[in-house]
Structure 1
Amino acid sequence: MHLLFICSRNKWRSLTAETIFQGVGGHEARSAGTEENARIKVTAGHIGWADLIFTMEKKHIRRLQDKFGHELAGKRLICLHIPDEFEYMNEDLIGLLQSGVSLHIGLDD
């Protein structure tokens, strides 16, 4: 399964998610951001590639819907409700990501 993780700048939350979920349970992971200054800015190609899209906040879902409404048809978007208060690979962030994502997919190695 292809997992896409979205946050604002793709520097901390979504990049951490990509790092920790890449290859877990046979899943492929990518990440991107919604802001103009994102490390990797989300594109229609990201949306098309993804089987499942996880956002960190509700505003990210709104931004995706505004920009990629047509591309999102039939896609499942899940908000993890993780605030922008963690740095890359923060232990608490990893715990929140693992508990939130595990509700939706199998994470067995």
Structure 2
Amino acid sequence: MKRILFVCTGNTCRSPMAETILRELARRRNRELEVRSAGVSTVDGLPVSVNAQKVLRRRIGVMAAGTSTALDGGSVGWADLILTMTTDHKRHLLQRFPQAVDKTYTLKEFVDRDEAVLEDIAELETLYTEYQMKQALGQQLTPEERSRLLELERRIPGFDIADPFGGPISSYEQSAAEIEAALQKLLDRLDNL
């Protein structure tokens, strides 16, 4: 059985919505999955946002169970696949848990598999790593490296799902719709693995 971990910032909006929606979509397809969620910048025990709960109840007729969970090594080790809501979440997770590099993606990156884009992402991640190493050593990127980094950043499509936290219910609806569309693609992809 596949174990999937969704990650966002506070684990009160996007990742619990993704967790709840995927559980329900998988149940409807008779697909067995274990699903959890966590936040890169949270504490354990915060309630799921009221607006996230309203949107879940309207969209799929189910509310999120549980409370926020801080991302830790146990969750990362448990997961077969880690799907973040933004590129920054992915970067943050991989800085803390570099051993998870082969199983960590943004949700949109994982479901929209364009090989040329994936090659660009890999090159960009290598440049970011080199940049961080050079910064630690008091060095700078060469003009060619900086130019290539900026070119890749412009060329790679956005893989982030906007954070609705604190916004109107329409922001939560938009995030949930985006998440659900990606999760439908995820289930199709998992059915073909």
Would you call these one fold, judging by a TM-score over 0.5?
Answer: yes
Of 86, 102, 114, the match for 1:74: 102
* TM-score (norm. length: structure 1): 0.80
CA shift for structure 1 position 98: 1.9
Structure 1 residues 72-81 or 19-28, which shifts more?
72-81
The runs of at least 4 consecutive aligned structure 1 residues that moved more than 4 Å come to none
Tell me, in whole angstroms, the C-alpha distance in 2 between the residues paired with 1:78 and 1:53: 8
After superposition, the Cα gap between the structure-2 partners of 1:75 and 1:82, relative to the gap in structure 1 and judged at 3 Å, is same
Q: Identify which range, 99-108 or 75-84, moves more after superposition.
A: 99-108
Query: Equivalent residue of 2:105, what SS?
Result: strand
1:54 partnered with 2:103:
no
Report the identity percentage: 33
Query: What residue identity is the alignment partner of 2:36?
Result: R
Q: Which residue of the partner structure matches residue 53 of structure 2?
A: none
Q: How does 1:2-13 map to 2 (within 5 A)?
A: 2-13=3-14
Task: For structure 2, list consecutive stretches of 5 or more residues without a partner in the other structure.
Answer: 45-67, 109-159
Partner of 1:85: 164
- SS of 1:42's equivalent in the other structure is coil
Give the total of aligned pairs.
Answer: 106
Structure of higher RCO (CA pairs closer than 8 Å, 6+ residues apart): 1
User: Of Structure 1 and Structure 2, which has the larger fraction of its residues in helix?
Assistant: 2
Contact 1:61 1:79 in 2 (8 A): no
Structure having the higher strand fraction is 1
Q: Which has the larger Rg?
A: 2
Q: 1:64 aligns with which of 71, 86, 93?
A: 93
Could you tell me the TM-score, scaled by structure 2's length?
0.48
Moved more, 24-33 or 93-102: 93-102
